[in-house]
A and B are shown apart, each in its own frame.
Chain A
Amino acid sequence: MNIREVLRVAWKSIFSNKSRSILTMLGVIIGVAAVIVMMAVSAGTEATIAESINGLGSNLLFINSTLTRGGMGKDAQQGGLVFDDVEAIREQVNGVAGVSVDQNASDTIKYGNVSLESISIVGTTADYTTVRDVQVAYGRFFTDQDIDRTTKVVVLGSTVAEELFSEEDPIGQSVTVGTTKLTVIGVLAEKGLVSGTSFDEQIYLPITLVFQKFTPSQFAAMRGDHVRTIYVSVDEAYEMDDVILQVELLLVQRHDVTIETADFTIKTQNDIIETQESTTESFRMLLGWVAGVSLIVGGIGIMNIMLVSVTERTREIGLRQALGARPIDIQVQFLTEALMLSLVGGLLGVIVGVGGSWLFGEVGGMRTVIVPFSIALSFTSAAMVGIFFGYIPARRAAQLDPIVALRHD
């Protein structure tokens, strides 16, 4: 029996039992489709995360306060990053393009008779535009001088500006934030939603002003200007690792701690992407198991139906044996049929999976990226399932005794 004939016989047998074949393939179809859809969803999520982290700014270092209580005495109660660290990093570390820090608050902003409730206030430094990669559309951003002097100025996100001023030119106008009157000096260009932050719906104030006017109790209580995260933008001409080392040494010295007891951590964008990826990785592992289980269930379905098929076609097997089929011929025939069932199931699964991924993207609003590897992986697994679970029925068929098989009805 040559390959073409084997394939033809298998195809005929599958095709002549269409609905049963489809039902049998269902497990494999679901398994394969699940692998593809889930990998597409997780790849999509990953891409979104990577993009949004990159969208934070360029060549960023994130220095986080860990609030580790190292050391002794008064310092032990404090620890962590302080506002003065920002200045120190900027002045003493080589290769820094900008350093910024956020202090967030929230209050009402009013202009004339328009007022917007609970607007996010970002208290920050002059380097914010460099570090977070935002553009000023009109006017200017505040300067170091504004920070030093706690000037009462504000830069508006594009949406805020539009809602307050619509057609009017906001620059030089006076707005009231909470109870403080501020002068608008600039409007940011649209940036949209990045990493959950809507840059366009915030307003930007000198950080010293926020400390003074919008978080006075915290400012006072902590007896120092503690900050949670310092963002450092590294000059592209410098080595990231070199800058990290400098920052680390500087902060260790300033905080009077050792590397082991450091009250801060330094991460790069890549570190964060990797952490995110490792969480999606473990998520993906879980989904992989789910897909694997459904493939196995599919395989058992195939085995089941193949056993039924062997029983139903016992007479056919006997006749083929009488006409000269060797055990191996029969085995190959049934194995091919099982393999074909799983491969056709795999193919349908790929179609359903790719279609499903597309549907998730188009209709479900979920970002999906089809991973070619997932198609190869699931298709190969389907084939292996076919061979593995087709083996027992095929072997049973091959070992039938010709007379017993011929007498069967």
Chain B
Amino acid sequence: MNERIIIETVDLKKIYGMGDIQVAALDGLSIKIRQGEFVSVMGPSGSGKSTLMNILGCLDRPTEGQYILNGEDISGLDKVALANIRNKQLGFIFQSYNLLPRMDALENVILPMVYQRENNLPSEERQEKAMAALESVGLTDRAHHLPKELSGGQQQRVAIARALVNDPVLILADEPTGNLDTQSSNEILELLHDMHERGRTIMMVTHESEIADHTGRVIYIRDGKLDADRLNGKNAKKMKQKLRETMAATVSKGGEA
């Protein structure tokens, strides 16, 4: 396994409520994620999974503790520096897709490139890159559809293309299949497997153990603390194999959603 560490947190704390009632959403969490890992985060509702993802995603700052992303200490950076990191190093997949409703699929995928500050690409190259990303999620023919003209699964695939387009070192997905039926969930999972096979580091929150079973490592959180951290490599491979067989069968039956 690759030894390069993408995520390292040291005693991460997030305390909400500055008054009398204080809630420690994260209460001293230390984890390490290496390059190329596909990790699930599980835990009961309110255990701090989203809070963790937000901090890892540089959308929020920890109250205490250290966060080192791809060798860089994030803890003391200002808003602008954080925006730069989100743009260059991170790709987000949200439960509710979060596509901009007035833009078509292609424009949505182009969006992260629009906020690039270094090697800002000319418009045609952006289009090409976005088209390539859409192709990798199998939506070339929907490039000029608005989100409302796409199914939930398709919207999430556009969101995945968007998360990939700036070639991030880390993909963060907070319950990416939470709003989807089994068929669409499977499609998304397959795409995540593809990305993982091509070397992406992926961190995914889920509350379904069947989904978590697909990843090589599962982290359990309870009350903002690390509850368990288990490797699941063999099982994940089997799950992936099984998923691909089912998908192939549905496709041959012509059952595209």
A residues near B (Cβ < 8 Å) are: 1-2, 5, 12-13, 16, 315-316, 319-329, 402-403, 406
Contacts and interface: CB of A to CB of B under 8 A. Distances in A.
Nearest to A324: B87
B121 to A, nearest CB: 11
B59 A326 contact: no
Given A402-B59, A403-B54, A403-B60, A324 B116 contact: yes
B94 to A, nearest CB: 8
B132 interface: no
A324 B54 CA distance: 14
A316 B100 contact: yes
Contacts of B94: 406
B86 interface: yes
B102 A325 contact: no
Interface in B39-90: 54, 57, 59-60, 79-80, 83-84, 86-88
A326 B79 contact: yes
19 contacts: A1-B115, A2-B120, A12-B102, A16-B102, A316-B100, A320-B111, A321-B59, A322-B92, A323-B112, A324-B84, A326-B80, A326-B83, A326-B84, A326-B115, A327-B83, A329-B83, A329-B115, A402-B60, A406-B94
Interface in B96-139: 98, 100, 102, 111-112, 114-116, 120
A320 B115 contact: yes
A324 B83 contact: yes
A327 B166 CA distance: 20
Nearest to B100: A316
A167 B84 CA distance: 95
Contact of A325 (B54, B83, B98, B166): B83
Contacts of B60: 402-403
Contacts of B98: 315, 319, 322, 406
A5 B80 CA distance: 20
A182 to B, nearest CB: 86
Interface in B198-233: none
Interface of B: 54, 57, 59-60, 79-80, 83-84, 86-88, 92, 94, 98, 100, 102, 111-112, 114-116, 120, 162, 166
Contacts of A322: 57, 59, 86, 92, 98
Contacts of A1: 114-115
A324 B59 contact: no
Q: Most B CB atoms within 10 A — which of A1, A322, A326, A402?
A: A322
A326 B57 CA distance: 15
A24 B42 CA distance: 48
A327 to B, nearest CB: 6
A327 B79 contact: yes
A316 to B, nearest CB: 6
Given A1-B114, A402-B59, A403-B54, A324 B88 contact: yes
Contacts, number: 58
A328 B79 CA distance: 10
A321 B79 CA distance: 10
A325 B115 contact: yes
B161 to A, nearest CB: 13
A406 B87 CA distance: 16
Contacts of A402: 59-60
Nearest to B111: A323
B203 to A, nearest CB: 15
Contacts of A16: 102
Contacts of B120: 2
A58 B102 CA distance: 68
Contacts of B114: 1, 5
Nearest to A321: B83
Nearest to B57: A322
Nearest to A315: B98
Contacts of B162: 323
A327 B100 contact: no
A83 B148 CA distance: 92
A279 to B, nearest CB: 53
Given A403-B54, A403-B59, A324 B100 contact: no
Contacts of B84: 324, 326
A326 B54 CA distance: 17
A322 B80 CA distance: 12
Given A323-B87, A406-B59, 19 more contacts: A1-B114, A12-B102, A13-B102, A316-B100, A319-B98, A320-B115, A321-B59, A322-B59, A322-B86, A324-B84, A324-B86, A324-B112, A324-B166, A325-B115, A326-B83, A327-B83, A328-B80, A402-B60, A403-B54
Contacts of B79: 326-327
B13 to A, nearest CB: 17
Contacts of A327: 79-80, 83
A324 B166 CA distance: 11
Contacts of A320: 111, 115
A317 B7 CA distance: 27
Contacts of A406: 59, 94, 98
Contacts of B88: 324
Interface centre among B79, B88, B94, B166 (most CB of A within 10 A): B79
A402 B80 CA distance: 12
Contacts of A319: 98, 100
A321 B58 CA distance: 10
Contacts of B80: 326-328
Contacts of A325: 83, 115
Contacts of B111: 320, 323
A327 B79 CA distance: 8
Nearest to A323: B112
Nearest to A8: B107
A1 B123 CA distance: 11
Nearest to B59: A402
B234 to A, nearest CB: 35
A361 B44 CA distance: 76
A249 to B, nearest CB: 79
